[in-house]
Chains A and B, each alone.
Chain A
Amino acid sequence: MHNFELVKPTSIEDAVAALKEEEAQPYSGGQTLLPTMKARLAAPTKLVSLLGIDELRYVRIEGDQVHVGGATTHATVARETKEAYPGLASLAARIGDPAVRNRGTIGGSLANNDPSACYPAAALGSGATIKTDRREIAADDFFEGMFMTALEEGEIVTGVTFPIPQAARYEKFIQPASRFPLTAVFVAKYDAGVRVAVTGASELGVFRWTEAEEALSKTFSADAVKDLKVDDADMISDLHGSGAYRAHLTKVMTARAVTALS
Chain B
Amino acid sequence: MPKDGGIGDSTRRREDIRFLTGAGRYSDDINVHGQTYAHFVRSDVAHGRIRSIDVAGAEAMPGVLKVFTSKDFEGAGGVPCGWLITSRDGTPMQEPKHPILAEGKVRHVGDPIAVVVAETKAQARDAADALEIDIEMLDAACDMKAALEDGAPRVHDDLSSNLCYDWGFVEDNREAVDEAIKAAAHVTTLELVNNRLVANPMEPRVAIGEYNPATDEHTLYTTSQNPHVIRLLMGAFVLNIPEHKLRVVAPDVGGGFGTKIFHYAEEAFVTFAAKALRRPVKWTSSRSEAFMSDAHGRDHVTKIELALDADNNFTALRTTTLANMGAYLSTFAPSVPTWLHGTLMAGNYKTPLIYVNVKAVFTNTVPVDAYRGAGRPEATFQLERVVDKAARELGVSPVELRRQNFITAFPYATPVAVEYDTGNYHATMDKLLELSDYSGFETRATDSKSRGKLRGFGIAHYIEACGIAPSNLVGQLGARAGLYESATVRVNATGSISVMTGSHSHGQGHETTFAQVISEMIGIDASQVDIVHGDTARTPMGMGTYGSRSIAVGGSAMVRAAEKVIAKAKRIAAHLMEASEGDIELKDGQFTIAGTDKSVAWGDVTLAAYVPHNYPLEEIEPGLEETAFYDPANFTYPSGGYGCEVEVDPETGHVKVLAFTAADDFGNVINPMIVDGQVHGGVAQGIGQAMMENCAYDAEGQLISASYMDYAMPRAGDVPMFTVDASCATPCTHNPLGVKGCGEAGAIGSPPAVVNAVIDALQRGGYDVGHIDMPLIPSRVWQAIQDATAAKR
Whether B651 contacts A178 by the Cβ 8 Å rule is no
B450, chain A: closest CB distance, angstroms: 16
Q: Is the CB of A176 within 8 A of B692?
A: yes
- Is there an interface contact between B710 and A242, defined as CB atoms closer than 8 Å? no
Q: How far is the CB of A32 from chain B (nearest CB, A)?
A: 11
Q: Which residues of A contact B653 (CB under 8 A)?
A: 245
Contact indicator B710/A252 (Cβ below 8 Å): no
**A89→B727 CA distance, assembly (Å):** 49
User: Which of A177, A182, A240, A252: most chain B Cβ within 10 A?
Assistant: A177
CB distance from B713 to the nearest CB of A (A): 8
Say which one of B154-162, B498-506, B701-709 lies at the interface with A: B701-709
Among candidates A40, A177, A240, A252, residue contacting B779 with C-beta atoms closer than 8 Å: A240
A-B contact count (CB 8 A): 47
Q: Is the CB of B288 within 8 A of A39?
A: yes
- Residue in contact with B782 in the complex, picked from A40, A176, A178, A248, CB distance below 8 Å: A248
**Contact A176/B783 with A239-B704, A239-B705 known, Cβ cut-off 8 Å:** no
Q: Which residues of B contact A177 (CB under 8 A)?
A: 692, 705, 708-713
**Contact status B288-A239, CB under 8 Å:** no
The reply on B566 being an interface residue by CB < 8 A is no
Cβ contact within 8 Å between B652 and A176: no
Contact present for A239 and B651 (CB under 8 Å): no
Instruction: Point out the residues of chain A lying under 8 angstroms from B712, CB to CB.
Output: 176-177
Q: Which residues of chain A are near B651, meaning CB under 8 Å?
A: 252
User: Complex: how many Å from CA A245 to CA B651?
Assistant: 11
Smallest beta-carbon distance A80→chain B, Å:
27
Rounded to whole angstroms, the CA-CA distance of A39 and B291 in the bound complex is 14
Q: Is A58 an interface residue (CB 8 A)?
A: no
Chain A residue contacts of B709, Cβ below 8 A: 177-178
Task: Fill in one digit per residue for B646-676: 1 if any A CB lies within 8 Å of its CB, else 0.
Answer: 0000011110000000000000000000000
- The CA-CA distance from A239 to B783 in the complex, in Å, is 13
Of residues 173 to 232 in A, which have CB atoms within 8 Å of B's CB atoms? 173, 176-178, 182
Query: Secondary structure of the B side of the interface?
Result: loop
CB-CB contacts below 8 Å: A237-252 with B: 239-242, 245, 248-249, 252
Say which residue of A40, A178, A240, A249 sits within 8 Å of B652 (CB atoms).
A249
CB distance from A162 to the nearest CB of B (A): 28
Say yes or no: B779 contacts A245, CB within 8 Å: yes
Q: Which residues of B contact A178 (CB under 8 A)?
A: 708-710
Category for how many chain B residues contact A: 20 to 34
Q: Does B239 contact A (CB under 8 A)?
A: no
Option from B125, B708, B710, B782 in Cβ contact (under 8 Å) with A239: B710
For residue B288, which residues in chain A have a CB less than 8 angstroms away from its CB? 39
Q: Which residues of A contact B713 (CB under 8 A)?
A: 177
- The closest CB in chain A to the CB of B705 belongs to A239
Cβ of B516 within 8 Å of any chain A Cβ, yes or no, is: no
Closest Cβ–Cβ distance, residue A257 to chain B (whole Å): 14
The CA-CA distance from A241 to B780 in the complex, in Å, is: 8
B348 contacts A by Cβ under 8 Å: no
User: Which residue of B has the minimal Cβ distance to A255?
Assistant: B651
Q: Does B694 contact A (CB under 8 A)?
A: yes
Would A176 and B777 be within 8 Å (CB), given that A239-B694, A239-B710 are in contact?
Answer: yes
User: In chain A, what residue has the closest Cβ to B651?
Assistant: A252
A178 to B777, CA, bound (A): 14
Q: In whole angstroms, how far apart are the Cα atoms of A176 and B715 in the complex? A: 10
**Binary B-proximity of A24-60 (CB < 8 A = 1, otherwise 0):** 0000000000000001100000000000000000000
**In the complex, residue of chain B having the shortest beta-carbon distance to the beta carbon of A39:** B288
What residues make up the interface of B, taking CB atoms closer than 8 Å to A? 125-126, 129, 288, 651-654, 691-692, 694, 696, 704-705, 708-713, 718, 777-779, 782-783
Could you name 25 residue pairs across A and B whose Cβ atoms are closer than 8 Å?
Answer: A39-B288, A40-B129, A173-B652, A173-B654, A173-B778, A176-B691, A176-B718, A176-B777, A177-B705, A177-B709, A177-B710, A177-B712, A178-B708, A178-B709, A182-B778, A239-B704, A240-B710, A240-B777, A240-B779, A241-B777, A245-B778, A245-B779, A245-B782, A245-B783, A252-B652
5 closest Cβ contacts across the A-B interface? A241-B779, A177-B712, A176-B712, A245-B779, A178-B709
List the interface of chain A (C-beta within 8 A of B).
2, 39-40, 173, 176-178, 182, 239-242, 245, 248-249, 252
